Structure 1
């Protein structure tokens, strides 16, 4: 970019200054009086001044299942410019999370529509963020046995279960079942692991209407047999 003289003071002593904003390089041409003549960004600017590189870095980090801390460490080791933590989380909560939520809700409604009028057998299992009784979060997934598609997913915080990690799986499953029933999915059978709280809940809450037959999957049954009797 050719810059001849300052349009404000007429100075021909023009200096080029380089700086960075997140992952973008910025070059400014400034005269000796401090007047900014023009500015160039290495990345296009999107809505509300968000730089496209910062947006893409944030999006790929979230959607690949990674996290900011690891990616920032990787960038620092390679001496790459990276968006700040505040900018990353602002982009995440302003753009990425709402977009994912909207897509997920649309996807779920399509699934529910395809299951209406059918007898549905579902498979459920939970996954904690850490083993044992110290887990803080539990994500519970429910899959349709016929199509092998995940039709519901709920995440429960330990604070929702009086800080009892062992109760999170039952609470998350109940939330899944209530949402499925509310969306007119006719559940005839549920297959889970041998969680005692889930077994008790199914006997008391779902033994009449809506009546859902509960059974344990064979893998967990065989695992428990081997653990208890084949030592």
Structure 2
């Protein structure tokens, strides 16, 4: 359960009843993080707190005013409950709770030797017989002393109980939706087994243990000489599935990786990892639906923002300005997939994309025109009007614009024209081609050297769009004093070092949101990984792109 870092605030108890939400520190804006820490006045988190601990600090919504939140345009259009998202300048300012001050411990006053001697005489004498390992019921408890000891970490203690008991920490971690955010460490197996030499309940030696692996999770069943036993797990479970399996599969796909890369890395490190069937089951049942849901939500919000901007500017009839281009998974006439992308000229964000498979057409070079037509039709059906569209010099698209969309102004991209004009003009035009930048990002998530099915290719394209739209406009990095950061680089033409601006580091908040959605789907039991019909995915087109049917093996030469 998250808790508010403001001293004296306990609104985590009212989170479910009154709709109190918790905000994390704006880690991408370090000067504003220091303002937050200075405002909450928590001795545990001073202003000098390192940025690595910002993820553990949360402030509830009771400490912000209404003007600190952004307007939810999507909720206003659809009549839904607005999402409370803080603005870029929000700082907590409401503190109805008194700040608790630390109380200094007083040193005990020294006592005289006579007082110490008198207290020692009142203590009864204890037997000096050696302590045996007899059961506790045989011990004489007529004289007992109450001793206070420091509490120790219960997370490393194996749970004790009957032989069929399981780890008691699983239920607690499973109830915490933010438990997966905790820090994780790769530990040697032999070092883990050193913790299972003695029973932490009675201190006797552990008689036997059984070590097993379930995916990336390690399980140890143990029992000692006095009959105490239990089961220890290296991570909690999510509906009879290790939570680490979900996190490994999600982090691999959300960063553009594949199972082949994960398998090679884990084998080189000799690390226990999930098998390929588990990876693809999790991908089909949870990861792809989570990506698709987040992509659709982002595109609806982006279209709503564009429509509202047209209403505010009074240019609803004028329309928007777009640029489009296609990207295939392999060059030449052997391409299987083609992704046509439409980008807004102003904000440089991806408005729409359409994936086409060659099986639906006779030739691979026709896929660009098919993707262009379907993508543009979806934009027009959404209620947006297009005023200007810039594309490459494809003859199919130019003919389609003249016949089907004559009311839209059509222009050709200067980068494609400049390739045959002059080398310097081509270099200048290439610097401004943001679509080419997106295509290089798309190759990261969907490498051309590997083949994917239709759903895999589509969701990897959506991942590239989510990454691109989040990091479209990079702001210049600043120091903690507010000054711009500059770096010295060597320039070849003047043959000297020059100053260049430093751009802020890319963010990946969409991956954290996707991981939250995957954990929520698994906890809610909305989809079962073992049930093939439980995944809300579309049927994939046939993978075979050959037009001639496959003959029997006996007739094949």
Structure 1 pair 3/50, CA: closer, same or farther in 2 (3 Å)?
A: closer
Q: Which residue of 1 aligns with 2:466?
A: none
- Matched residue SS, 2:235: coil
TM-score normalised by the chain length of structure 2: 0.36
Structure 1 pair 193/5, CA: closer, same or farther in 2 (3 Å)?
A: closer
CA deviations over 1:146-194 (Å, ceiling 9, x no partner): 11111111111111223x2101111111121111111111111111111
Counterpart pick for 1:213 among 409, 431, 439: 409
CA deviations over 1:189-215 (Å, ceiling 9, x no partner): 1111111221122122112xxx21211
2:222 is the alignment partner of 1:22:
no
Q: Which residue of 2 aligns with 1:103?
A: 294
Q: Tell me, in whole angstroms, the C-alpha distance in 2 between the residues paired with 1:190 and 1:169.
A: 15
Q: Is the 8 A contact 2:163 2:230 kept in 1?
A: no
Q: Which residue of 1 aligns with 2:327?
A: 127
Counterpart pick for 1:159 among 352, 359, 364: 359
Q: Tell me, in whole angstroms, the C-alpha distance in 2 between the residues paired with 1:41 and 1:2.
A: 10
Q: Which residue of 1 aligns with 2:418?
A: 222
Q: In terms of Rg, which structure is larger?
A: 2
Equivalent positions of 1:44-63 (< 5 A) are 44-46=236-238, 48-63=239-254
Deviation at 1:25, TM superposition (A): 0.9
Deviation at 1:105, TM superposition (A): 0.9
CA deviations over 1:20-70 (Å, ceiling 9, x no partner): 111111112379xxxxx6432211111x32211111111111111111111
Higher helix share: 1
Q: Tell me, in whole angstroms, the C-alpha distance in 2 between the residues paired with 1:25 and 1:56.
A: 15
Structure 1 pair 5/146, CA: closer, same or farther in 2 (3 Å)?
A: closer
Counterpart pick for 1:177 among 363, 367, 376: 376
Structure 1 pair 126/6, CA: closer, same or farther in 2 (3 Å)?
A: closer
Deviation at 1:6, TM superposition (A): 5.2
Q: Tell me, in whole angstroms, the C-alpha distance in 1 between the residues paired with 2:320 and 2:222.
A: 67
TM-score normalised by the chain length of structure 1: 0.84
Structure 1 pair 215/81, CA: closer, same or farther in 2 (3 Å)?
A: same
Deviation at 1:120, TM superposition (A): 0.4
Deviation at 1:226, TM superposition (A): 5.4
Deviation at 1:15, TM superposition (A): 2.3
Give ranges in structure 1 of 5+ residues lacking alignment: 8-12, 32-36
Deviation at 1:91, TM superposition (A): 0.9
Structure 1 pair 54/171, CA: closer, same or farther in 2 (3 Å)?
A: same
Structure 1 pair 19/185, CA: closer, same or farther in 2 (3 Å)?
A: same
Q: Tell me, in whole angstroms, the C-alpha distance in 1 between the residues paired with 2:266 and 2:404.
A: 51
Q: Is the 8 A contact 2:159 2:231 kept in 1?
A: no
Q: Tell me, in whole angstroms, the C-alpha distance in 2 between the residues paired with 1:121 and 1:112.
A: 13
2:306 is the alignment partner of 1:115:
yes
Equivalences, count: 213
Structure 1 pair 4/86, CA: closer, same or farther in 2 (3 Å)?
A: closer
2:40 is the alignment partner of 1:40:
no
Deviation at 1:135, TM superposition (A): 0.9
Q: Tell me, in whole angstroms, the C-alpha distance in 2 between the residues paired with 1:14 and 1:203.
A: 83
Q: Tell me, in whole angstroms, the C-alpha distance in 2 between the residues paired with 1:65 and 1:82.
A: 18
Counterpart pick for 2:267 among 76, 94, 97: 76
Q: Which residue of 2 aligns with 1:168?
A: 367
Deviation at 1:100, TM superposition (A): 1.1
Q: CA RMSD of the aligned region, Å?
A: 2.3
